[in-house]
Structure 1
Amino acid sequence: MSESEVTMNLELETYPPLFRQLNNQSRTHGKVIEPVGEPELPMPVIDLHCLSPEELGGACRDWGLFRLVNHGVPSTLLRQLHEHAKELFSLSFECKKEIFCSPSSYLWGTTATSTSGAALLTGPQNIHWVEGFHFPLGQLSQLQTQDPTLASFRLLLEEYGKHLARLGRTIFKTMAMELNLDPGESETHLDESTGFLRVYRYPLRSMANSAWGIEVHTDSSVLTILNQYEVGGLEILKDNQWLQVKPTSDTLIVNLGDMMQAISNDEYKSVKHRVRLNKDRERISMGYFVFPKEDSVIRSSKYKPFTHGDFRAQVQQDLKTLGFKVGLEKFKLTHASSS
């Protein structure tokens, strides 16, 4: 057995039991997925120190995503977050289930339908090869734990959460200005109290070309701020071509979600993306998701009026009945008139 195989087997012991079982099965029963996306084109870079509404608007219209520099988040904080996350993921599956309790949660195999692993009962074909920790940032003070690593991580998250709220607020304010949104209405379209952080680990896999970490999707958020640290795997769809989004030190990736596309009356894009597994190195990423206020009504000439609560309920219904998220199409006026 090679050194890499020994390392992979040790890592597998920290994964959910079903991951271990299916990983062994995949050695002989893997299916081939799409080839790796093309190397990254020069994607937009937005400098927070000299934030230009025109440049930001161009990135949001053409890409729905950009690389953020001079964001003011200390590199030491980002490194500490990664180190603590790696230590938490290295705990046994049983320990992770035990130490994560409300308001945080531990999830695996799914990113949307369950925080208990129940979605795995629908069958291996529906599994996302990812495990993660969910932290509602506004409720971190309620997180009581005896685990020293999780307690230290909570303190780091409190600091990181302040930076994320600042970044989200600054970026959204500039987007609203560029779109000439009504100030009174748009101020409810980004509610910092809704912000949560998902810390994901994508496992080593013996046949990384036979399954996805996360399959093609769009985020439901207003915007998402991603720290993908050192290991790549994120791919976005741009002009019908899949492109790799490679990690670059001291930068963050910001992508727009469905709420922002609707708020912008489809001027901005909710970018389609996916995450590919790596057979040599596990990937740890941290995504911040923020949404409108629960009762904030999004009005647009392209969509019937709806709230994020309406949208979330429809997504859950579609996941339950169809097995996948339909998203904004369910709220388009053309859809409403034809139903």
Structure 2
Amino acid sequence: MADKCTIPVIDLHNLPNQLPELISACENWGCFRLINHHEILSTKLMLEMKKVVRSLLDLPVEIKRRSSDAIAGSGYMAPSAKNPLYETLALYDMARSGDVERFCQELDATHDQREIIMRYAEAVHELFMRIAKKLAEGLGVKRGDIGFENWPCEFRFNKYNFIPESVGSPGVQLHTDSAFLTILQDDESVGGLEVMDKTGKFITINPWPDTLLVNLGDMATVRL
């Protein structure tokens, strides 16, 4: 699959040796595919989390609306005139067990669902810290100057409500992520994701099962 991937591929096991490639991917593309992350985030947990996400987003709207807004954009967002095919559930900080527990309580998540969400949140946060520290290292940022350890890490579950008549329509408006780093588990079989290259051309990102997509947000600027 690596030879068919349209964006750079970073091997987490080989990250010390791939540090120049990681920096190049971030500077030239702003995103990359992450492979061999299973020591932290296993295939089994990824599949379990997808089942939980589907079941929570299939809940009645009146239950999903219980999910509260810690900040604008967290909680439940229903389809809107701007994004008619898109809905999402989100919690403000996956690194805080209290935030995760409150999110689960609001949605009446089962014990098993809560366990999966907790384990998945911990694994993704660990991945975030690993990648962010390597980025800082590759850019020459001194360890004492790294301040992202206590940053909140939003946890978002997205659903695109496509029907045959809407296939080909944008799932969500053109945007950049407002945060620092996004780690995305995309659909294993359905494509549609696109990124813009340096020329302004949109590049299709093909599905690649059992991998993660990482992209930089608006806050990913280093001042030396």
**TM-score scaled by structure 2?**
0.82
What's the counterpart of residue 179 of structure 1? 139
The structure where helix makes up a greater share of residues is: 1
What's the counterpart of residue 235 of structure 1? 194
Cα separation, 1, equivalents of 2:68 and 2:132: 32
Identity %: 30
* More displaced 10-residue stretch of structure 1: 168-177 or 137-146: 137-146
1:76 matched to 2:34? The reply is no
Cα separation, 1, equivalents of 2:150 and 2:43: 23
What's the counterpart of residue 49 of structure 1? 13
CA contact 1:133–1:199 (8 Å) conserved in 2:
yes
What's the counterpart of residue 105 of structure 1? 75
1:63 matched to 2:23? The reply is no
CA contact 1:145–1:151 (8 Å) conserved in 2:
no
CA contact 2:9–2:33 (8 Å) conserved in 1:
yes
Deviation at 1:101, TM superposition (A): 4.1
1:249 matched to 2:209? The reply is yes
Deviation at 1:249, TM superposition (A): 1.2
What's the counterpart of residue 56 of structure 2? 88
Q: 1:147 to 1:107 in 2, by over 3 A?
A: closer
Give structure 1 stretches of 5+ with no counterpart.
Answer: 1-39, 110-119, 264-298, 301-339
What's the counterpart of residue 290 of structure 1? none
Cα separation, 2, equivalents of 1:145 and 1:218: 31
What's the CA shift string for 1:242-297, capped at 9, x where partnerless? 1111221110000011111x22xxxxxxxxxxxxxxxxxxxxxxxxxxxxxxxxxx
Aligned match for 2:219, one of 247, 259, 262: 259
Query: Considering only aligned residues, what root-mean-square deviation do their CA atoms show, in Å?
Result: 2.4
Cα separation, 2, equivalents of 1:146 and 1:106: 11
Deviation at 1:148, TM superposition (A): 5.2
SS in 2 for 1:214: coil
Aligned match for 2:173, one of 215, 239, 245: 215
Deviation at 1:81, TM superposition (A): 0.9
What's the CA shift string for 1:185-227, capped at 9, x where partnerless? 2x11x23540011100000234325742212111121110000
Cα separation, 2, equivalents of 1:237 and 1:102: 30
Cα separation, 1, equivalents of 2:202 and 2:22: 22
Cα separation, 2, equivalents of 1:150 and 1:192: 29
What's the counterpart of residue 225 of structure 1? 183
SS in 1 for 2:116: helix
What's the counterpart of residue 87 of structure 2? 131
CA contact 2:180–2:218 (8 Å) conserved in 1:
yes
**TM-score scaled by structure 1?**
0.56
Q: 1:141 to 1:95 in 2, by over 3 A?
A: closer
Cα separation, 2, equivalents of 1:211 and 1:165: 32
What's the counterpart of residue 162 of structure 1? 122
What's the counterpart of residue 113 of structure 1? none
CA contact 2:63–2:107 (8 Å) conserved in 1:
no
Which residue type is aligned with residue 177 of structure 1?
Answer: E
Give structure 2 stretches of 5+ with no counterpart.
Answer: none
Q: 1:247 to 1:87 in 2, by over 3 A?
A: same
The structure where strand makes up a greater share of residues is: 1
Cα separation, 2, equivalents of 1:128 and 1:41: 30
If asked which structure has higher relative contact order (CA below 8 Å, sep 6+), I would say: 2
Cα separation, 2, equivalents of 1:199 and 1:249: 18
1:145 matched to 2:105? The reply is yes
In our comparison, the structure showing a higher alpha carbon Rg is 1
Cα separation, 2, equivalents of 1:57 and 1:203: 35
Cα separation, 2, equivalents of 1:161 and 1:225: 11
Aligned residues: 208
CA contact 2:83–2:173 (8 Å) conserved in 1:
no
